[in-house]
Structures are given as C-alpha cells and as structure tokens.
Amino acid sequence: MKKVLITGCNGQLGRALNQLLKNTDIILINTDFDTLDICDTKQVFTLVREKMPDTIINCAAYTAVDQCETDQENARRVNALGPKNLAAAAKEIDAQLVQISTDYVFDGKADKPYLETDIPCPQSVYGLTKAEGEKAVMETLERYYIIRTAWLYGDGHNFVKTMLRLARDHDTITVVNDQFGSPTSALELGRMILHIVDSGKYGIYHGTCEGVTSWYEFARKIFSLTKTKVTVLPVTTDEYPAAVAKRPAYSVLENQKLNSQGSYRMKHWEDALVEYLSDTGMIG
Ligand SMILES: NC(=O)c1ccc[n+]([C@@H]2O[C@H](COP(=O)([O-])OP(=O)(O)OC[C@H]3O[C@@H](n4cnc5c(N)ncnc54)[C@H](OP(=O)(O)O)[C@@H]3O)[C@@H](O)[C@H]2O)c1
C-alpha cells in the first residue's frame, strides 16, 4: 500500500486512520463529503482516475441508524450506491477496496458469535443498506476486504462521550442491559485494517475488539475508569422507547478470519477503552 484514498476522512474511523498513517511514507488522499460525494458516480470516477490510488478505504457511511428508517433513499445511496461506485472505479484502475460494514447486517437472534460465513439478515434500514453495499462490492470487484465492525467509538460523537455528558447533568441514568456486543475503538479497528490490507487475503472479515459486554456494563466500566459518580440502572430494550430502528439483541462477531491467520489479534475491549480514555485525557 503506497497511495491510499480515504473517503469520509472526518468520521471516527477516517480520523483514526489519519492518526495511524501520519509520519509514514504512505501518500494519503483524504476526502470527505465536500470533496468527494461517494454517491456521485461521475465524481468518484474522475477523482479515482486522476489520483490513481492503489488502495481505497471507504470510511464514509450514513451511520445515523434511526434516521435511516425515515430517510431510506439517502441511506441506500450512501451505504449501497457509494460502495458500488468505489468498487467499480477501483476495478477500472486495478486498486483494492476496503469497505467497512456492520454487525447490523445480522438479525441478532443468535446465541453464539456470528462468523464471516453466516448469512446476513438485517432488521433495520441501516443494516439492509449496508448489506446491499457489501453485495455490490462483492459483485463488482475481486480485490476487496469487507470488514464488519460494531459499537465503534473514536474521535466523534460516540457512546463513551454521551455517557460522560449525561453523567454531568444527571445523578441517575438508565442503560439497556439486554443488548450484547463488543465495543471497538476506531484506533484498534484502524490498526487491524492496516494489518490486513497488504496481506492479499481478500474477503469478508469481522473486526471487533475481543470480549463481550452489554451497553449497561460498558457504561459502568466507563464510569469506574473515569471515577465518575453516577447511579446506572439497567433497563430492557422494551423499557427504552427512544430508539426507532430495531437493534440486534446479540451482535457479537467472531474475528475468525483474522484470528485464524494468527498474526494480529485485536485488543480486548476493556484494554482498548483504557487506551482511548488515556489518549483523550479522560483518565490520567
Ligand atoms: N459508529 C458505529 O458504531 C459503527 C458500528 C458498526 C459499523 N460502523 C461502520 O464503520 C464505518 C465508519 O463509521 P464511523 O463511525 O467512523 O462513521 P462517522 O463518524 O459517522 O463518519 C462517516 C463519515 O462519512 C461522511 N459521509 C456521509 N455521507 C457521505 C457521502 N455521500 N460521501 C462522502 N462522505 C460521506 C460523513 O460526513 P458528514 O459528517 O459530513 O455527513 C462522515 O465524515 C462506517 O462504514 C459505518 O457504517 C460504524
């Protein structure tokens, strides 16, 4: 990987990749919505032909899960047409594409971790359009890495910051305790991507931090590490009316393809959380 085009460079993952790639000899072409709208087929081809990257990492997505339910057309444009455009342009110049996907492609009804080979069965517009994006990439290009991640947090709006903000204004907060997954730091996902991208071992990967927790336990860990005094009460998803889109109850992804290669194992979610809180000065 010598010349990398990053889309959605100002998002959580885009920023993490920039942090990891600064001071390397890799030539970075950073784009975001204002410089490259991935839904604009002509713009995508023009830029890719002009810049000739050997690798495209698509960090752009329509990630507002509830909003996707009422804005289906735009969600589909960004999450499905966008990756299709990038895959077609990559094919033309013989570049490889990294497409980021999500645990939401699964229905969350399993009782054991999902494998890369499990068949997607999305329950929300976000999950559906992301699954369509995966399919479009697979049908267009051979040299792709589709990386499904989950519960991502980094430099941007995220659960960790939301919890700490809520704790500043409330003595008691309620957090759902019947949805399980693996909180994943954008930095750790970025490391994983950079590790596999030159392996030539194309295909679908799961890329989440190791270990499993609930949102409630995740919140408790954030508060205990930051020594924040707040009462956290567990609630069920049914008792929490704010969400519009259906969330998978069990969205644990096993990093089987990555771990079977044996050369990189993602950090445990608790270790990645400590790193994030230290890097952002939230713990000393
Ligand atoms: N966040 C999570 O919990 C989570 C979980 C599982 C998977 N993922 C996946 O992980 C990837 C990275 O997520 P993230 O949290 O880093 O996302 P993010 O912070 O929401 O960033 C997405 C970026 O994409 C940009 N964008 C939106 N529409 C665009 C378009 N048409 N053309 C170009 N750029 C566009 C956004 O710009 P604006 O801000 O200007 O709209 C933003 O900079 C995504 O594929 C997401 O689906 C995320």
Atom of ligand 1 nearest to the CA of 16: 16
Identify the residue whose C-alpha is closest to ligand 1 atom 5. Answer: 150
Q: Is the pLDDT of residue 241 over 80?
A: no
| Overall pTM > 0.95 | yes
How many structural domains comprise the chain? 1
Range of the domain at 82: 3-158+183-211+251-267
- Residue 169 in any domain: the answer is no
Query: pLDDT tens digit string along 95-109?
Result: 999 999 999 999 999
232 pLDDT tier (thresholds 50, 70, 90): very high
- Residue 274 Cα, ligand 1 centroid: separation in angstroms? 24
Ligand 1 mutation target, pool 59, 147, 204, most atoms within 8 A of CB = 59
Residue 180: other Cβ atoms inside 10 A? 17
The angle at the Cα of 180, spanning 13 to 227, to the nearest 5 degrees, equals: 75
User: Would you say residue 240 lies in a domain?
Assistant: no
Q: Flag whether 216 is in a domain.
A: no
Overall average pLDDT of the 1-8 stretch:
96
Instruction: For residue 189, give the ligand 1 atom closest to its CA.
Output: 10
Q: For residue 91, what is the domain's CATH number?
A: 3.40.50.720
- Which two three-digit tokens encode residue 262? 């044996």
For residue 133, how far is its CA from the centre of ligand 1 (angstroms)?
A: 13
In this predicted model, what pLDDT tens digit does every residue of 128-172 receive, in sequence order?
A: 999 999 999 999 999 999 999 999 999 999 999 999 999 999 999
Distance 229 CA to ligand 1 centre (A): 32
Mean pLDDT of the chain: 97
Q: Is residue 88 part of a domain?
A: yes
Residue 77 lies in a domain: yes
What local confidence, expressed as pLDDT, does residue 240 receive?
80
pLDDT at residue 1 greater than cutoff 90: no
For residues 44 and 166, what is the distance between their CA atoms, to the nearest angstrom? 40
Q: Whose alpha carbon is nearest atom 19 of ligand 1?
A: 11
DSSP assignment letter at 238: G
Q: Would the pLDDT of 7 be above 90?
A: yes
pLDDT reading at 242 higher than 80 = no
Question: Quick one: pLDDT band at residue 244, thresholds 50, 70, 90?
Answer: confident
Whether 196 maps to a domain, the answer reads yes
The predicted structure's pLDDT at residue 243: 76
Catalytic residue positions, numbered: 126
Going by C-alpha positions, the residue among 218, 69, 79 that lies closest to residue 137 is: 79
CA of 230 to the centre of ligand 1 (A): 31
Q: Check residue 140 and give its pLDDT.
A: 98
Residue 204 lies in a domain: yes
pLDDT of residue 284: 85
Strands 27-30 and 55-58 come out as unpaired
Q: Which atom of ligand 1 is nearest to the CA of 104?
A: 6
Q: How far apart are CA 96 and CA 206, in angstroms?
A: 18
Residue 245 lies in a domain: no
Choose which residue among 9, 19, 31, 33 to substitute to test ligand 1 binding: the one with the highest number of ligand atoms within 8 A of its C-beta: 33
Mean pLDDT over 180-208 rounds to 98
Is the pLDDT reported for residue 196 higher than 90? yes
